[in-house]
Amino acid sequence: MAYSIAIERTSAPKTKPEVSRIGFGTIFTDHMFMLDYETGKGWHSPRVVPYQPITLDPAAKVFHYGQTVFEGLKAFKTADGAISLFRPDMNFRRLNRSNDRLSIPPLDEELALAGLKTLIGVDADWIPAEEGTSLYIRPFIIATQPTLGVAPSRNYLFMIILSPVGAYYAEGINPVKIHVESDYVRAVPGGVGNAKTAGNYAAGLKAQEEAPQGYSQVLWLDGVHRKYIEEVGSMNMFFKINGKVVTPALNGSILEGITRDSMIRLLTHWGVPVEQRQISIDEIAEAHRDGTLEEAFGTGTAAVISPVGELHWQGEKLVIGGGKTGELSARLYDTLTGIQRGTEPDPFGWMVRL
Ligand SMILES: *Cc1c(COP(=O)(O)O)cnc(C)c1O
């Protein structure tokens, strides 16, 4: 279906930054996508407009009750100069699952993708081409009805903003040290842990702040037993134990990562056994003790893979793989980033060309 998306181009294009200095999420392109929702009228008025601040009534529900969801994905300039997106259909499907949990009306996924493609077409010059770089895409929805009653909003705004990002591992893949959190919890069954919604992240900041010096992120345990591995900040967790890969099963309280799904598919394709199940922190500590904990890594859109070189659990330091990047982690990283850059075959048809 063809959608009619209005385009208003900026009259004052910004100077593009030097790619070696852009970091993550600090610089935004010249345009953004907007789509409005009103009860009775539905989603309407898709448009690309110059990037600019938005005006909201101070009573807008998003400010008071957090009715909001977001997504994160990437576009790449491939080795042959084309522009492609990594599995964007998965992101918009997940956005609708988050919408459902937050009582936000569903979005036409095709329209969202058409809007994204139009926006990227307008800002195509902003996509860096250097190896390891990409265009980070942040779609999000906010409740805008200006009333303080606790009820689903009657008005919403869907937006997409774009941010060029530098190479995450400009100095080579660096394993991270992670603190296993034993006091705070992130989510509970029946809650919103499997929705990409703002409150999950605001509620996690304190644990991150209080983590001991040197541990930049925390690994969450389940909120009921305080025993089973859930996930890290914005990454799903994988462990390689005795030749087998294990990752927590989707239990309703962890986020269903698209990178997680991609890793499971790649591993299965290679004939590496993958188990999705409950994994207790005790099992990890035991595997570490008996020398069968071979690798640990987190997966997410931003870093693709973040090897874990050390886990800090109840005062104990579990060093994994000598604190170095494991062989399988490196192979997964090289393969997935190769597929994204178009230097490796794409057997699953993940890349969507503009
Ligand atoms: C976004 C996110 C992930 C990773 O999902 P990807 O689709 O792989 O980027 C994992 N956990 C949380 C809490 C997240 O917000």
Sign of torsion over alpha carbons 196, 23, 306, 282: negative
Would you kindly state where each structural domain of the chain is located, as residue ranges? 6-165, 176-346
Q: Residue 10 C-alpha to ligand 1 middle, in angstroms?
A: 32
- Can you give the pLDDT of all 354 residues of the chain as single tens digits? 678 999 999 999 999 988 878 888 999 999 999 999 999 999 999 999 999 999 999 999 999 999 999 999 999 999 889 999 999 999 999 999 999 999 999 999 999 999 999 999 999 999 999 989 999 999 999 999 999 999 999 999 999 999 999 888 877 788 999 999 999 999 999 999 999 999 999 999 999 999 999 998 999 999 999 999 999 999 999 999 999 999 999 999 999 999 999 999 999 999 999 999 999 999 999 999 999 999 999 999 999 999 999 999 999 999 999 999 999 999 999 999 999 999 999 999 999 999
Q: Which two tokens stand for residue 84?
A: 């492609």
DSSP designation for 322: G
Tell me which of 3.40.50.300, 2.30.40.10, 3.20.10.10, 3.40.30.10 is the CATH number of domain 176-346.
3.20.10.10
CA 91 to ligand 1: nearest atom:
7
* Mutate which of 138, 235, 263, 333 for ligand 1 pocket (most atoms within 8 A of beta carbon): 235
Q: Residue 283 C-alpha to ligand 1 middle, in angstroms?
A: 24
Q: Count CA within 13 A, CB hemisphere, residue 186.
A: 33
pTM over 0.85: yes
Which class in CATH covers the domain with range 6-165?
Answer: alpha beta
List for the chain the helix, strand, coil content (%; round to 5): 25, 30, 45
Amino acid occupying residue 282: D
Give yes or no for a contact between 239 and 320, defined as CB atoms under 8 angstroms apart: no
